[in-house]
Structure 1
């Protein structure tokens, strides 16, 4: 936080990011190319007093990769009167798979059958109910890390015994989900300001199709059903900017797998090229928000 507070300026935008990747560079380029004042803030160097204090930004784009820092930074900025995109609520909901699932099911958005078990033993009972094969996922995480496919109860017992021996209490909770029989691809849809910017297929031979893990990207037509589900999912979690992941079952039915509040769009951009600039679309939305 700046040692000397300045008067807030609704036109001045803070971009929170401790990791400057290709997407952040595209965003900074869009700001500079269009002459929009912004300030890059590294959340690892920020501190906030408990009392309310005016900050020099009217709006903040939260690109922080660490979920805990992202959530608390959003809370601190919002408490100081800064308009944060995505909101505190959306950041917290999207950052927790169980909260995301609850939001989607409450809004009647179709999603795979899922359960949360509060102990490893209860997880075995939940998996018996869901049926095998199934998937065990961490509550908080990205890039498909620590996602484990469970072909049967024997495999589940081994994985859950290991999880139960870990020190962190959150490791003892089990987010388990049916394994949907699907093609070797999923669909990433980017939603910005209530509009679908486009969609791509992410393909891979393994369970995970994340681009960060080597998944390949292909164009995907935005059908009315894809558009409808993506918009409904973004609304359900309260996200202005969202990466909505859809999967297709073998009957072609679409399900929402998860919603990301910090959208990575390099793979998306490489497919759509000059037809859509995600960075410019995000900046358009921020400028619209700043004028409200």
Structure 2
């Protein structure tokens, strides 16, 4: 494929394993692209400098990714993922609300607008439970609360934080699961595969040392992952699922700027990067 670099932009402030893989996949296809650091991006009078026709949004920071997508779409670009998908995936409550609207299985969840209301919400959900920041990744600041006494201590700490958004409480029931969860990779409406993420910590994030292993994808898991990605409007998604002792599947989160190093390592290939490159080229050609 021959194209102008202005047709396709890769937006990222940090060029990590995933961005390098995607860029390499584009180059193997003869597709020219422009790399753009969002820290240099600005809007004047509704016009965005360096706005390409198709933009892959790989900015790691949620707010910068969301506002960049909004500005680029306003300038007429097609952004992958869209601003709406970025907003919904980056905010855990909006993700939960989207999953619930579409009737998908997800843990009992509460949003409380003050720490005091959060304590009442936790009593209704029941213990053990989990308190999570609305925006965040890699399992950071996710707190397991086994009982009311622990919840009181955690919420007192939250109430003392300076940022008003920190006082909004997002809580979920702690669903019993094995020492692993499942990450399903979805690109362009297709399930590319799945991995088990297994670790010693109850938070099975690869960033926290969890190990990725191949996971078979049955019809039930595939349909659930596709439905979850569709619920938040994500063309590219990492869908996090847990399985209880009876085999029931529950969606925890949908990640829009998904990291896939563990996935590709487990499967011994570059399938995710290749699929993303193909998706971008298809969008650039339409």
2:250 paired residue among 246, 255, 271: 255
Where does residue 165 of structure 1 map in the other structure? 160
SS at match of 2:99: helix
1:75 paired residue among 70, 83, 97: 70
CA distance in 1, matches of 2:246, 2:201: 20
With over 3 angstroms needed to count, the CA separation of the structure-2 counterparts of 1:56 and 1:110, relative to structure 1, is closer
CA RMSD of aligned residues (A): 1.5
CA distance in 2, matches of 1:81, 1:10: 16
Deviation digits for residues 236-280 of structure 1 (CA, Å, limit 9, x no counterpart): 000000000000122210000000000100000001113x52111
Matched, 1:141 2:136: yes
Count of paired positions: 284
CA distance in 1, matches of 2:67, 2:52: 17
Where does residue 42 of structure 1 map in the other structure? 37
1:216 paired residue among 211, 214, 217: 211
CA distance in 2, matches of 1:174, 1:25: 36
Mean Cα displacement is larger for which, 219-228 or 50-59?
50-59
With over 3 angstroms needed to count, the CA separation of the structure-2 counterparts of 1:238 and 1:291, relative to structure 1, is same
Q: Say if 2:11 and 2:55, in contact at 8 Å, map to a contact too.
A: yes
With over 3 angstroms needed to count, the CA separation of the structure-2 counterparts of 1:115 and 1:56, relative to structure 1, is closer
Q: How does 1:149-188 map to 2 (within 5 A)?
A: 149-188=144-183
Where does residue 105 of structure 1 map in the other structure? 100
Where does residue 279 of structure 2 map in the other structure? 285
Gaps of 5+ in 2: none
Give, in angstroms, the shift of residue 46 of structure 1.
1.2
Where does residue 259 of structure 2 map in the other structure? 264
Deviation digits for residues 189-242 of structure 1 (CA, Å, limit 9, x no counterpart): 010000001100001122211111100111100110110000000000000000
CA distance in 2, matches of 1:160, 1:219: 38
CA distance in 2, matches of 1:218, 1:104: 26
CA distance in 2, matches of 1:230, 1:32: 29
Where does residue 246 of structure 1 map in the other structure? 241
Q: What TM-score does the superposition give when structure 1 sets the normalisation length?
A: 0.94
CA distance in 2, matches of 1:109, 1:146: 26
Gaps of 5+ in 1: 1-7
